[in-house]
Amino acid sequence: MYVPRELTRTFRSTLRQFPAVLITGPRQAGKSTFIQNVMKNVPYVTFDDPLNRDFALQDPNAFLDQYHDKRVILDEIQYVPEILQYIKIRIDKDRKPGVWIMTGSQQFHLMKGVSETLAGRIAILELLPFNLKENNASKKRLEDLIWTGFFPEPACYPKRRDLWMKSFIQTYLERDIRQIENIRDFRSFEIFVNLCAAYHAQEFHPAKLAGDCGVSQPTIKSWSKILEASYLSIMLPPFFKNFGKRIVKTPKLYFSDTSLVCSLTRQPSPESALRGSMGGALFEGMIISEVWKAFFNCGQRPAAFFWRSHSGLEVDLIIQAQGKLWPMEIKLTSTPSVNHLKPIDRFKKMAGKDASKQGFIICNVGEKRNLPGNNVALPWSEFSDRLKRIIA
């Protein structure tokens, strides 16, 4: 079963502009399925196949000559980064757009090779797991969405969720990480990943994590970059008018998929996950991840922040789009109140003309409600569509 992806329009537009297009993202997000369904009748080669891999490495020119003057899909390109320099030579001879279509999962070494070899010749798009709309969220219970998560396999086949998630985590820890970076203290890294899940939707403090894991702060910072590079985590920076402060101040850490958090923190059931102590954090993480997906689906870098006043008021999400700052509170409640609007109204006043006139409370209401101060209580199931309009 193929679910049409919202990246399709951006991808087709990019094909008309660049000789090469790379689609990257986490493993099992549906990159290969996407590319084969969007680009039907285009020759497809996967470097997961050792025969293809060996041919490309031993005789790259002969391998590429098979597809002379044809579009070709090269899947899992990270296994043969050496071939990028030969693709560069061919692009420089003929810059016809949309010829070289590639996918790759492990970002660190792949992105280094792409940026050094194909700079100016390639567009890089990022495909994350399903968003709310792709996951048919309006027809599912919130607790089931959070439990199964948004990776295509468990989202489409919920009965496979437990085994799939266990295998995914094990493969990530035991194989992918060792290919990305040589981690010597593997047990400490495993503790780090589990602690990050426990601190989901909280501020990221390397000093505390270093003490808990028994490693140095630079090691923790390095490991956090690995989580980001493999698309397992999101770092949401604080908003300051001073751009320099945004870079150095403490961000908030989110896992990019709620089911990963449920598995790593050993939640016993969908109901207990949503109604327990982590329910609010899981809901908040689902919405933050939705923002990242919306920006990526438009081919943009995420422009999103959180904001905290000197008096302690906090706005969970600030989106920068259309020349404005859009304040949003994320609350796991079915009864939004005027008290929920205080941080939003305070931020509007602080930001002045830079702020959008409209603020939002993303919550569990059944339908959209207008609130005082030109604010809106928006059902979480409608967030994907509203976000798309704001960003586009």
Question: Per residue in 122-179, pLDDT tens?
Answer: 999 999 999 999 999 989 999 999 999 999 999 999 999 999 999 999 888 777 776 6
pLDDT digits (tens, 9 = 90+) for 233-273: 999 999 987 645 554 488 999 999 999 999 999 999 999 99
Q: Where along the chain do the CATH 3.40.1350 domains lie?
A: 304-391
- Containing 52, the helix (H) or strand (E) segment is helix 50-58
Q: Where along the chain do the CATH 1.10.10.10 domains lie?
A: 137-297
Question: Measured between alpha carbons, how far is 270 from 2 in angstroms, rounded to an integer?
Answer: 26
User: HSE of 128 in the Cβ direction (CA atoms, 13 Å)?
Assistant: 30
Residue 57 has φ and ψ, to the nearest 5°, of -80, -40
- The percentage of residues in the chain with a pLDDT greater than 70, rounded to a whole number, is 95
More confident of the two residues 183 and 246: 183
Topology of domain 304-391, CATH: Trna Endonuclease; Chain: A, domain 1 (3.40.1350)
Mean pLDDT of 341-360: 94
Topology of domain 137-297, CATH: Arc Repressor Mutant, subunit A (1.10.10)
353 — pLDDT class (breaks 50, 70, 90): very high
More confident of the two residues 385 and 177: 385
Q: Where along the chain do the CATH 3.40.50.300 domains lie?
A: 8-126
Threshold 0.85, pTM exceeds: yes
Inter-residue contact 253 to 200 (CB < 8 Å): yes
Inter-residue contact 20 to 87 (CB < 8 Å): yes
Question: Measured between alpha carbons, how far is 279 from 275 in angstroms, rounded to an integer?
Answer: 5
Predicted confidence at residue 179, as pLDDT, reads 65
Q: Beta-carbon neighbour count of residue 124 at 10 Å?
A: 20
pLDDT higher than threshold 80 for residue 180 = no
pLDDT higher than threshold 70 for residue 296 = yes
Q: Which of 170, 143, 186 is nearest to 264 (CA)?
A: 170
- Burial track 270-291 (b if 16+ CB lie within 10 A, e otherwise): beebbeeebbebbbbbbbbbbb
More confident of the two residues 329 and 312: 329
Cβ-based burial of 349 (10 A; exposed 0-12, middle 13-18, buried ≥19):
exposed
3-state SS assignment for residue 234: strand
Predicted confidence at residue 111, as pLDDT, reads 65
Q: Beta-carbon neighbour count of residue 245 at 10 Å?
A: 12
pLDDT digits (tens, 9 = 90+) for 14-66: 999 999 999 999 989 999 999 999 999 999 999 999 999 999 999 999 999 99
Q: Angle at Cα 13 formed by Cα 8 and Cα 19, nearest 5°?
A: 110
CA dihedral 13, 17, 20, 24 (to 10 degrees): -40
pLDDT higher than threshold 80 for residue 182 = no
CATH code for the part of the protein at 8-126: 3.40.50.300
310 — pLDDT class (breaks 50, 70, 90): confident
pLDDT digits (tens, 9 = 90+) for 204-221: 999 999 999 999 999 999
pLDDT digits (tens, 9 = 90+) for 82-130: 999 999 999 999 999 999 999 987 665 566 667 778 888 999 999 999 9
Span between the terminal Cα atoms of the chain, in Å: 28
Q: Which of 55, 94, 96, 95 is nearest to 74 (CA)?
A: 55
Question: 101: which 2 tokens?
Answer: 């279509």
Q: Which of 378, 294, 368 is nearest to 344 (CA)?
A: 378
pLDDT higher than threshold 80 for residue 367 = yes
| Whole-number Cα distances in Å, 269 to 65, 76, 146, 274, 377 | 53, 35, 10, 9, 28
Predicted confidence at residue 243, as pLDDT, reads 47
